[in-house]
Amino acid sequence: MSFDLVLFGGTGDLAWRKLLPGLLQAHRHGTLPPGGRIIGVARDAMADEEYRALIGKRLADVEADKRPSEEEFARFAQLLHYQRMDLTQPADYALLRERLAERSAKVVVMYLATAPQLFTTACEQLGAAGLATPQTRVVLEKPLGHDLASNRAINAAVRRVFREEQIFRIDHYLGKPSVQNLLALRFGNALFEPWWRRETIASVEITIAEQLGVEQRGHFYDRTGALRDMVQNHALQLLCAIAMEPPINASADAIRDEKLKVLRSLTPWTPESLAQGVVRGQYGTGQVAGRQVAAYREEPGVAADSRTETFVALRTGISNWRWAGVPFYIRTGKRLASREGHIAIHLRPTPHAIYRTPLVCGANRLVIHLQPRDGLALHLFAAANEPRGGPPGAHSGEAPALTPVALDLDFDQRFGAERVGAYERLLLDAIDGRLNLFVRADEQEAAWQWVEPIMQSWAAQDARGEGPRPYAAGSWGPGAASALVARDGNTWVEEC
């Protein structure tokens, strides 16, 4: 199947950090359909050869295991082409049309890795230039919009040009092998379902911690912040994977229907829950991985008096039969103590204790490790091998102490670390037309609808002169985040 993949934003950060390495991996794995072209699009004038050289130089900077050898890159580079184009100029779309008319590919994927402000114009102009044919698919990077209204406006504009099944809204977390595994764990095993509910589960924690700061994206990030960058999309998609009902089959719409129900059941915010259940923070200077780093406000592209959040922790719930009363905590931030993504399912303690377990985290928990390691650990308690029939007190009626142990499964070790990466999978899915791991418009709208009251409450705080809480780079965020879970008698998993 021949394809043309047009990468708008072809010289941008995302293209060389994620998209081109993903495509290179697919090429390496032999999964990229043969006879394809990858056409980078950006504003500068450049010949194909210059683009290949530029990408070759950039790919030399990626992590060692993803870096291509010279011959490997030379083979991959034959797929790379370049088209100069200013997306705001209607006349420039004719240049792309000519380029695509050089041959008739079976599938044309338009990947908009550009600022979201350009999505509407780009789709309208693709339509006007006759480039939205039944063979065309459009991939839209997140965040899609800035709030509910702008999200709706973009979705409406895109749908005037493309049918829903041609629209691939990307959330790269859905492409991660660890997230695929989460669904497999829940819906491919009978073991979990009976206790996957409020009667057994006390709370759920979702943490996506990064050590990175805003890197070269200060300008973008300062207008976006952690709520729009991570919570509205990645964290809520993880929450859906944990909380959704079993879908009737593995089709895109069956899965999306169930996720949508979760998003619509998120407990609505009240002034009290906003005040007590949401913490926003912004990093100051500090040590991350042994290196002194600058404060957020000193990063290039960031306003010196910025109130943009680089950290969010929140407590919510899901108002349905399965989850009523179970707190769901979400926490994400930049410049935190370690790079760590996990979902911790904390179980209720035994109904009657004849043993002593630790005071903190003294009940079972299942931790699904998303990154950097991909695996899962079931934390249990066992009787240590005590001589003479048990620990002191065992005979006097005092509860004997148990020792924490873990059943630990490492998927990288089990399946090999060379697994299909998120962008590699999602790019192949877009070329093949598989929508399962892409987000439907109604899911996105429900997620925006739920985060909007948080944005509004922060705007009101800003007006009162109350900004985000400072935290030291290299810490776990503002102390208020620990207080948030402590109010329910809980702790974040690193404190266990």
List the catalytic residues.
234
Least distance (Å) between residue 205 CB and ligand BG6: 17
The answer to whether 199 is a known ligand-binding residue is no
Closer to ligand BG6 by Cβ: residue 131 or 236: 236
Backbone angles phi, psi at 185, to 5 degrees: -60, -50
CB atoms within 10 A of CB 166: 20
The answer to whether 18 is a known ligand-binding residue is no
- Residue 224 neighbours by CB under 8 Å, 6+ apart: 143, 308
Amino acid in position 207: T
By beta carbon distance, the residue nearest ligand BG6 is 229
- Residue 127 neighbours by CB under 8 Å, 6+ apart: 160, 161
Least distance (Å) between residue 489 CB and ligand BG6: 30
In angstroms, the CA 317 to CA 319 distance is 6
Closer to ligand BG6 by Cβ: residue 212 or 399: 212
Closer to ligand BG6 by Cβ: residue 210 or 299: 210
Closer to ligand BG6 by Cβ: residue 222 or 229: 229
Least distance (Å) between residue 290 CB and ligand BG6: 20
In angstroms, the CA 142 to CA 158 distance is 14
Least distance (Å) between residue 14 CB and ligand BG6: 9
Contact 59, 25 (CB under 8 A): no
Least distance (Å) between residue 433 CB and ligand BG6: 23
Which tokens hold the place of 408?
A: 């630990």
- Contacts with ligand BG6, 185-214, as mask; x by CB under 6 A: -------------------------x-x--
| Count of residues in contact with ligand BG6, rule CB under 6 A | 3
Query: Which residues are bridge partners to 168 per DSSP?
Result: 139
Interface with ligand BG6, residue 443, by CB under 6 A:
no
CA end-to-end distance (rounded Å), the chain: 51
The answer to whether 137 is a known ligand-binding residue is no
The answer to whether 369 is a known ligand-binding residue is no
In angstroms, the Cα distances linking 177 to 218, 232, 341, 410, 411 are 29, 21, 13, 12, 9
The answer to whether 334 is a known ligand-binding residue is yes
CA 343 to chain centre: 13
CA 192 to chain centre: 24
The answer to whether 409 is a known ligand-binding residue is no
Helix, strand, or coil here: 150? Answer: helix
Closer to ligand BG6 by Cβ: residue 128 or 212: 212
Least distance (Å) between residue 229 CB and ligand BG6: 5
Least distance (Å) between residue 427 CB and ligand BG6: 15
Closer to ligand BG6 by Cβ: residue 339 or 434: 339
Using CB under 6 A, pick the residue from 92, 205, 229, 443 that binds ligand BG6: 229
The answer to whether 142 is a known ligand-binding residue is yes
Amino acid in position 71: E
Q: Which of 114, 19, 29 is nearest to 58 (CA)?
A: 19
Closer to ligand BG6 by Cβ: residue 91 or 212: 212
DSSP one-letter string for 59-74: HTTS-GGGPPPHHHHH
In angstroms, the Cα distances linking 253 to 222, 248, 257, 357, 443 are 35, 10, 6, 44, 11
In angstroms, the CA 56 to CA 117 distance is 29
DSSP one-letter string for 375-392: EEEEEEEE----STTSST
Which residue ranges make up the annotated binding site?
43, 86-87, 142, 172, 176, 210, 229, 334
Which residue ranges make up the annotated binding site for substrate?
172, 176, 210, 229, 334
Which residue ranges make up the annotated binding site for NADP(+)?
43, 86-87, 142
Name the residues that contact ligand BG6, by CB under 6 A: 210, 212, 229
